Amino acid sequence: MPKAHLIIIGNGMACGRLLDEILKRNPDQYRITVFGAEGYANYNRIMLSPVLAGEMQADEIITHSEQWYQQHNITLHSGDPVVGIATEDKTLTCQSGQTFSYDELVFATGSNPVMPPVAQACELDGILSFRNLDDIDRIMARVSTIKHATVVGGGLLGLEAAWGLRQQGLDVTVIHRAGWLLNRQLDPAAGKLLQQSLEARGIQFKLKAQISYFNGEQRHASDTTNALRTIVLDDGTTLNTGLAVIAIGVSPNHELAQNSGLACDRGILVDDQMQSSHPNIYALGECTQFGKHTFGLVAPLWDQASVLANRLCNLPGQRFRVQPCATKLKVSGIDLFSAGEFLDDPESESVICQDPTNGVYRKLIFRHQRLTGAVLFGAVNDGNWYFELIQSQTKVQQLVPDLIFGRRYCDGDAIAQLTPAGAVNTDTAAPLSLATGATS
């Protein structure tokens, strides 16, 4: 009997992880075909920033080479995107016109960068996103010809891009809509410290700022498009800049799914087994929407891959649920960790510990004797322990105020006596801070 045919659309990190998980469970169950829009093997998108910063080479971030696909008898179709799906026939069609039939179909189409309308309207050369290796090529192609670059968006990805550009020797200005950086992960105080650290590294900032319009001009008489020259902000400031990297967020790439009749909202709607509205069709990663949540960080994606692999390999039981997320910023020398809540409110209690001389800021937020958030800057020790305590909803009142100094300051016996709240209800464990789309 021939093996069932599993097709995965999208060859990003979600796909790579899913393949690993399936092969780990049962390497012989499926004949597998993967369709990738990008002309590369599978790579670690998280590491794009170090590549831009020149700290790593593109080939160093490949996780699954073309050779790997061959070794595991996985058919990889790079650069031939799927354009249509006939769900009743369980077939799909590629741009090249080829048609494939599947038994099980997985959407791992990821997300698209959000572009501001003014950028979409102006059609200028030099306004780029920062999502894949092609983006890096495009950015790098300009770096040598310009002095100044602008990054739009002071989230994780924007700041990593800014650092990368700065490492390439450019003057960099970050334009950010909110009053402080990483406003989806940090409180104002930590945001301010981060800003100071980055300013010390030569990056400039325009906060509470929005772009009014981009201006461009023909660089060479032969050019068909105008190149970016200036950005005018809503406060009237004009920045002379040769490059604008847009990093204001991502939106799930669910166009194909929607066109194929799958139930979609902001993303492809999935249940806790990662199944879409159609049987035999699944989705995972940034293209999905689970309840009201969409995803932008790697941790939930790993969970989804595991759940889906179980499902596909007929290993029942595991259910996907939304967990608080922890974030880190990959800028050399800047230690930053955020998990769960990051802003105080009248019902919460917080403990703040700071050493401005050493650029250290730590904040823990508590509710009902439980840790619900951690914002660490400068000294990120024990971030993951806090993250575990947040996830497990452990009562930690007896460890306050030692807790903020880390596990090694807390009484070992007191730690041993901590009892997690037990099974976490999805609703109460609601995403405390989901950095949706801020990073890969």
Point out which residues bind another protein (CB under 8 A).
Answer: 44, 46-47, 50, 63, 298-299, 302, 328, 330, 349-358, 360, 378-385, 400-402, 404-406, 408-409, 412
Q: Which is nearer to another protein, 135 or 402 (CB)?
A: 402
Indicate the residue among 75 and 354 with the shorter CB distance to another protein.
Answer: 354
| 89 burial level (CB within 10 Å; 0-12, 13-18, 19+) | exposed
Task: Sort residue 173 into left (φ over 0), alpha (ψ -120 to 50) or beta.
Answer: beta
- Shortest separation between residue 310's beta carbon and another protein, angstroms: 17
Pick the closer one to another protein by CB: 123 or 411. 411
Spatial distance between the Cα atoms of 354 and 328, rounded to a whole number of angstroms: 19
Please answer whether residues 264 and 257 qualify as being in contact, where contact means their C-beta atoms are separated by less than 8 angstroms: yes
Q: At closest approach, how far in Å is the CB of 361 from another protein?
A: 10
Neighbour-count burial for 168-201, b at 16+ CB within 10 Å, e otherwise: bebbbbbbbbbebbbbbbbbeebbbbbbebbeeb
Nearer to another protein by C-beta: 172 or 379? 379
Contacts of 440 (CB under 8 A, 6+ apart): 13, 45, 46, 48, 131, 157, 296, 298
- Give exposure, 230-252, as e/b (b: 16+ Cβ within 10 Å): ebebeeeeebebbbbbbbbbbbb
Q: Minimum distance between the CB of residue 52 and another protein, rounded to whole angstroms?
A: 14
Cα–Cα distance for residue pair 197/170, rounded to 1 Å: 17
Nearest partner of 396 among 366, 363, 375, judged by Cα = 366
Q: Which is nearer to another protein, 292 or 408 (CB)?
A: 408
State the minimum distance, in angstroms, from the CB of residue 163 to another protein: 15
Nearer to another protein, 212 or 384 (CB): 384
Report, in Å, the least distance between residue 91 CB and another protein: 35
Of residues 260 and 372, the one with the C-beta less far from another protein: 372
CB of 25 to another protein, least distance (A): 14
Q: How far is the CB of 156 from another protein (least distance, A)?
A: 12
Whole-number Cα distances in Å, 404 to 39, 342, 383, 388, 401: 46, 14, 10, 14, 6
